[in-house]
């Protein structure tokens, strides 16, 4: 028997799916659930707002700038949010919203997390580059500590999932036993990325206001509103993936029955 990870986010239950030869999804099965559409709308709003902030209010993005080092920093929030928060959210929901076979869903789940980790790494690089070229100390704030810890745990979580559930893959018994822990630890890491994002918004806005930005200026309100949307997005994702499944998924959400 081959145990899947297809239900790793189905209400926290350990599940077993059918073999890889799943039938093609029906047109009804292809429909994206309404809660997932709402989450994606929130994610699109967050992406649009952070781009508006960094491009319109902060002047744009650049990996190198001899005159305006702030452009280098602007890469950091954009890549971190699109990576860990948006792609990470989509990866967490993938097993619950995608109607494809278990192997396909697992590949999408892994690739989305890999994309999140890659974009997050670029975001971390931009922050260090900005600090180094501006003569600012690294890793002195709570935001930097939580953020660096989150990305390290994210990488460990991804590697563990790759080795246990994908390649070379553990035995069915090992995968079945490790799946609930993989789910729980994944959600914990996701919450840490949300916490790091909120601390980052607070830290940056505090610096800007100390430099003269009005407390009720358009930019300040935009940053606060974006931070609130990130909280709403993260809360929606966690509630959605941990909600009880009222009907069995036709492609991998049948419950395990103990002999």
Is 252 inside a domain boundary? no
Is 110 inside a domain boundary? yes
Please tell me the predicted confidence (pLDDT) of residue 32.
83
Residue appearing with tokens 């670029």: 122
Task: Give yes or no for a contact between 71 and 54, defined as CB atoms under 8 angstroms apart.
Answer: no
Rounded CA Rg of the chain: 20
Is 250 inside a domain boundary? no
Q: Is the pLDDT of residue 72 over 80?
A: yes
Is 2 inside a domain boundary? no
Residue appearing with tokens 């509103």: 225
Q: Is the pLDDT of residue 246 over 90?
A: no
Chain-centre distance for alpha carbon 47: 13
Is 16 inside a domain boundary? no
Q: Is the pLDDT of residue 222 over 70?
A: yes
Q: What is the CATH number for 99?
A: 1.20.120.1770
What range does the domain containing 178 cover? Answer: 32-242
Return phi, psi of residue 58, to 5°: -105, -5
State the Cα–Cα distance between residues 165 and 91, nearest whole angstrom: 15
Global confidence as pTM: 0.84
| Token pair recorded at residue 93 | 């929901």
Is 143 inside a domain boundary? yes
Please tell me the predicted confidence (pLDDT) of residue 253.
32
pLDDT, tens only, 53-66: 999 999 999 999 99
Q: Which residue has the higher pLDDT, 257 or 188?
A: 188
Is 27 inside a domain boundary? no
List all residues 6 or more positions away from 217 whose beta carbon is below 8 Å from its beta carbon. Answer: none
Total domains in the fold of the chain:
1
Is 249 inside a domain boundary? no
């Amino acid at each position: 028997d081959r145990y899947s990870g297809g239900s790793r986010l189905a209400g926290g239950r350990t599940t077993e799916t059918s073999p890889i030869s799943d039938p093609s999804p029906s047109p009804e099965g292809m429909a994206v659930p309404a809660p997932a559409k709402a989450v994606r709308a929130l994610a699109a709003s967050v992406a649009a707002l952070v781009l508006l902030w960094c491009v319109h209010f902060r002047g744009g993005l650049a990996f190198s700038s001899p005159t305006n080092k702030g452009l280098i920093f602007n890469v950091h929030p954009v890549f971190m949010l699109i990576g860990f928060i948006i792609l990470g959210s989509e990866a967490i929901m993938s097993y619950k919203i995608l109607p494809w076979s278990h192997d396909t869903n697992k590949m999408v789940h892994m690739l989305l997390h890999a994309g999140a980790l890659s974009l997050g790494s670029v975001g971390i690089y931009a922050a260090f580059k900005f600090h180094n070229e501006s003569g600012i100390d690294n890793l002195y704030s709570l935001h930097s500590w939580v953020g660096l810890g989150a990305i390290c745990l994210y990488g460990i979580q991804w590697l563990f999932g790759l080795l246990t559930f994908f390649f070379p893959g553990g035995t069915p018994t090992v995968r079945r036993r490790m799946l609930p822990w993989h789910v729980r630890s994944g959600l914990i890491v996701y919450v840490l990325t949300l916490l790091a994002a909120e601390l980052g918004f607070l830290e940056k806005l505090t610096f800007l206001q100390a430099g003269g930005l009005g407390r009720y200026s358009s930019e300040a309100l935009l940053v606060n509103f974006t931070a609130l949307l990130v909280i709403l997005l993260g809360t929606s994702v966690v509630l959605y993936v941990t909600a009880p499944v009222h009907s069995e998924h036709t492609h991998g959400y049948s419950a395990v029955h103990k002999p």
